[in-house]
Amino acid sequence: MEAEQRRAAKEQMIALMQAGYRWQQAAAQAGIQISRSTAYRLLRLVRMHGKAAFQDGRHGHPAKLRTTERTWLETYCHTSPHPSSRVVQAAFQEQFGIQISIGYLNQVRANLGLGSRTQEAGKKLEASPPTEPQWQEGAGGLLLVAAAEVSGLLSTMETAVSACTPCADARLAHLSARSRHMLVRTLLFLGVVGLDRTRDLHSYTGDALGVLTGRSQAYGYFHTERFLSQVAQANGADTFTDGLAQWTARLWKPPTASTQEVDPLYSIDGHRKPVYADALIPRGLIGNSGKILGCRALVLLHDEEGHPRLVTTHRGDQHLTVELPAILARYEQATGKAGQTRIIVDRDQMAAQFLADLVAAGRTVVTVLRTDQYEGLSSFTEVGAFIPLEHDQQGKLIREVAAACFALPLPDQPGASPRCG
């Protein structure tokens, strides 16, 4: 298949996938052989970059690293002191205008004997004086490491792992405290060294992750994935979720100087994220796109300062009216802070009976109404002072808001009207 024909086939396949076809059907109709991961990666790139994603930028060359590029790579790695693959990737793109993946670059460097471990092994024979470690990728990664230690996130995760109940024959049940400590650090600090998932450990040849976990070399993919799998089988999802709630409650404590008891204020919102899988999974409405796709529902609980307190995952077809009471009860049970809670939630698609049940349970509901859900100021009571919200280009006030109470009529209970703020 010629280059233009293959590009046209890819465009047809992506168009069919966007129309709702599964990737196998779309590839078969387009007459192209492609793997599932490549198909969905191409779909993601098309959504981000449009038709530019169909250009691979190789101009017909069978490989990205030919003789000229390999010669430059050898010279650069020999003249630069322990260059990380991310630094080499940026320099290579600046020199030739071609972007290569970190995994492919690590593979080529290993084949040419240009990896960091190969260089250090040769220098050990020369008894050279010790130098500063060269694994730091930037200040952001070091700040993450420091924050995880100081804020108590590491100890919280290790406690959550210890609270899991694995099977007696599982390796997790016989791990020492030090091994659990190093495996938890491996999972937590993958992003510090530029890894997005455990699978990337297949091609990882750096030393940073090993240093961060307290080992001479980082754990490989097999050990890390086995640990993660056994934690999941030992009800680790619930244990880690409760641990996360307790950690955020300790991290963002209310000011201790205040002697007056104030009811906590939480903002709760739901999002649906599409999930592309061969198996059929529950479907739901994705954002404002109007598409019904297989997805997972995320429920986020923030405090009044905007700090994320808890995130839970649910079926994609589950409504926020079911998820909201569940995440509130879970957070209050994990933190031991049950009481009169003020809730900020979107009024859209919220039934009046559901809001009435929240009010009956002692909650105070704060919401924002659409313009078609009230007639005017006469629809509200206890109207507060108006605050400027928006000005036009000339500085003229065009929108202002105020706190008020709103009574919702219950269709099944004439005369009963729960109040919302």
Domain boundaries, the chain: 3-54, 67-124, 139-243, 261-420
Structure confidence at residue 139 as a pLDDT band (50, 70, 90): low
Helix, strand, or coil here: 343?
strand
How far is 185 from 211, CA to CA, in rounded Å? 10
pLDDT of residue 222: 92
Confidence of residue 132 (pLDDT cuts 50, 70, 90): very low
C-alpha–C-alpha distance, residues 312 and 248, integer Å: 14
Whether pLDDT at 124 is above 60 = no
Higher-confidence residue: 414 or 369? 369
Give pLDDT, residue 129: 45
Q: Mean of the pLDDT values across residues 379-407?
A: 85
Q: How confident is the model at residue 136 (pLDDT cuts 50, 70, 90)?
A: very low
Lowest-pLDDT range, 17-21, 115-119, 345-349?
115-119
Cα 196–Cα 199–Cα 203 angle in degrees, nearest 5: 95
- The residues, ordered by sequence, that sit 6+ positions from 285 with a Cβ below 8 Å of its Cβ are 272, 291, 292
Tokens encoding 402:
């105020």
Is 196's pLDDT higher than 60? Answer: yes
Q: Look at residue 259 in the predicted model and tell me its pLDDT.
A: 52
The CATH architecture one would assign to domain 261-420 is 2-Layer Sandwich (3.30)
Q: What's the confidence (pLDDT) of residue 130? A: 43
Cα–Cα distance between 324 and 278 in angstroms, integer? 30
pLDDT per residue over 43-89, tens digit each?
888 888 888 777 765 544 445 566 777 888 888 887 776 778 888 88
Lowest mean pLDDT among 209-218, 344-353, 361-370: 344-353
The answer on pLDDT for 26 being more than 80 is yes
Please write the tens of the pLDDT for every residue from 102-113.
878 888 888 777
> If we measure between CA atoms, which residue out of 54, 65, 62, 57 comes closest to residue 30?
54
Q: What percent of the chain has pLDDT over 90?
A: 4
Q: Does residue 159 register a pLDDT over 70?
A: yes
380 pLDDT above the threshold of 50? yes
- 82 vs 330, which has greater pLDDT? 330
Alpha carbon dihedral 231, 235, 237, 242, in 10-degree steps, equals -120
CA-closest candidate to residue 328, choices 273, 264, 284: 264
The pLDDT tens digits of the residues spanning 276-298 come to: 878 888 888 887 677 888 888 88
Confidence of residue 95 (pLDDT cuts 50, 70, 90): confident
